[in-house]
């Protein structure tokens, strides 16, 4: 079947969806997307409908505002929010099958990033290979720490900087696809009064907690030596780098002091990996001065456009992008060229 080719426009790569048939799999932190539970407010119902829509209002908004292509991924927390290993594995596989089928309906406008459960490294590698080599996905979306049960009501989280996950990173390097690291809400049990995230609740989510939690995970990955062992691994981080680009000088300054260099496992400092192995996107952070700073700090080739739809609107993102005052050759790279290169997208440069 021939699909109509749209005009060249922006490429957005952190764009969320929700598999309606798989919504019941999502853990407590996805309750806002389940109208039959506590998330029955009108706002949450509308959000759930927007997450479930791909080919109607989403596509109409893309056409209206000049978005050429979207990389779609299961909304946070996805499989990372499920503490039961078997359920998390099934959640990821079902979401990937559904998303691949949706992309096949209009591959000229949509591609996908795969979900994986990170409970078991062998399972994560197997699903990543299946999603990339059989389903045609262009990378992975991993939502910060993997929720794990610690018995009773206690829930912990696995980070991926440990030796346990070296086979995962090895497989990612072999597959040659990026891993998008995205934040997530803490488990619902950790949001109760008196818990670490329960007081104060007002910092939860995108305003503060998201970037605070994920930035620690990213610093841990950089300092673990994983990028030295597997230098081909590429990470993508949204929201203009979760605050890290603006702290790199201070982070490097202390990381390079003798007391720290004796302890660290990595060969280089944080700036090295943020200019070699990590790219950032504009998702949900439409700040021109901050973007300009990031292009100077990391290099234009490390900066990519994204929207964070439906949590932010296509219209707002595109209007901002039209107003961004950067050289046109830099805007072309950020808007589309870098994404085509990094994700190996089947689009004309």
Rounded Cα distance between 193 and 78, Å, is: 25
* Catalytic residue list contains 43: no
Rounded Cα distance between 71 and 199, Å, is: 35
Q: Is the peptide bond before 81 cis (omega within 30 degrees of 0)?
A: no
Q: Is residue 264 within 8 Å of 207, Cβ to Cβ?
A: no
Tokens for 81, please give them. Answer: 């929010």
Instruction: Please give the order of strands across the beta sheet that includes 303-304.
Output: 140-142, 179-181, 235-237, 278-281, 303-304
Q: Is residue 284 within 8 Å of 239, Cβ to Cβ?
A: yes
Residue 321's contacts (CB-CB under 8 Å, 6 or more residues apart) are 10, 282, 286, 305, 331, 335
Tokens for 143, please give them. Answer: 């939502």
Unique residue bearing structure tokens 């998390």? 88
Rounded Cα distance between 249 and 44, Å, is: 40
Catalytic residue among 38, 308, 325, 348: 308
Neighbouring C-beta atoms of residue 178, cutoff 10 Å? 24
Q: Is residue 239 within 8 Å of 283, Cβ to Cβ?
A: yes
Q: Which helix (H) or strand (E) holds 221?
A: helix 209-223
Q: Which residues are tagged catalytic?
A: 308
């Amino acid at each position: 079947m021939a699909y109509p080719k749209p005009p060249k426009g922006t490429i957005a790569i952190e764009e969320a969806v929700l598999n309606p048939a798989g919504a019941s799999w999502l853990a407590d932190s996805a309750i806002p997307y389940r109208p039959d539970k506590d998330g029955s407010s009108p706002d949450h119902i509308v959000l759930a409908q927007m997450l479930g829509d791909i080919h109607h209002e989403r596509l109409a908004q893309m056409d209206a505002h000049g978005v050429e292509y979207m990389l779609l991924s299961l909304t946070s927390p996805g499989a990372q929010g499920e503490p039961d290993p078997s359920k998390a594995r099934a959640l990821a596989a079902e979401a990937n099958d559904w998303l691949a089928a949706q992309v096949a309906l209009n591959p000229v406008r949509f591609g996908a990033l795969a979900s994986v459960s990170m409970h078991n490294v062998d399972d994560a590698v197997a699903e990543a290979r299946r999603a990339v080599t059989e389903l045609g996905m262009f990378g992975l979306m991993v939502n910060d720490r993997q929720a794990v049960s610690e018995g009773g009501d206690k829930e912990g989280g696995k980070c991926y900087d440990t030796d346990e996950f070296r086979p995962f990173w090895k497989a990612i390097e072999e597959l040659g696809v990026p891993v998008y690291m995205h934040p997530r809400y803490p488990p619902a049990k950790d949001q109760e009064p008196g818990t670490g995230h329960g007081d104060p609740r007002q910092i939860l989510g995108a305003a503060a907690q998201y970037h605070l939690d994920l930035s620690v995970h990213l610093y841990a990955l950089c300092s673990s030596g994983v990028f030295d062992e597997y230098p081909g691994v590429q990470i993508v981080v949204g929201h203009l780098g979760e605050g890290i680009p603006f702290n790199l000088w201070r982070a490097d300054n202390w990381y390079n002091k003798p007391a720290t260099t004796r302890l660290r496992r990595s060969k280089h400092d944080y700036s090295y990996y943020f200019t070699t192995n990590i790219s950032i996107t504009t998702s949900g952070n439409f700040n021109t001065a901050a973007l300009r700073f990031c292009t100077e700090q990391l290099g234009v080739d490390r900066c990519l456009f994204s929207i964070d739809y439906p949590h932010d609107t296509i219209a707002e993102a595109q209007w901002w992008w039209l107003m961004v005052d950067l050289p046109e050759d830099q805007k072309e790279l950020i808007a589309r060229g870098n994404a085509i290169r990094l994700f190996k997208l089947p689009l004309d440069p």
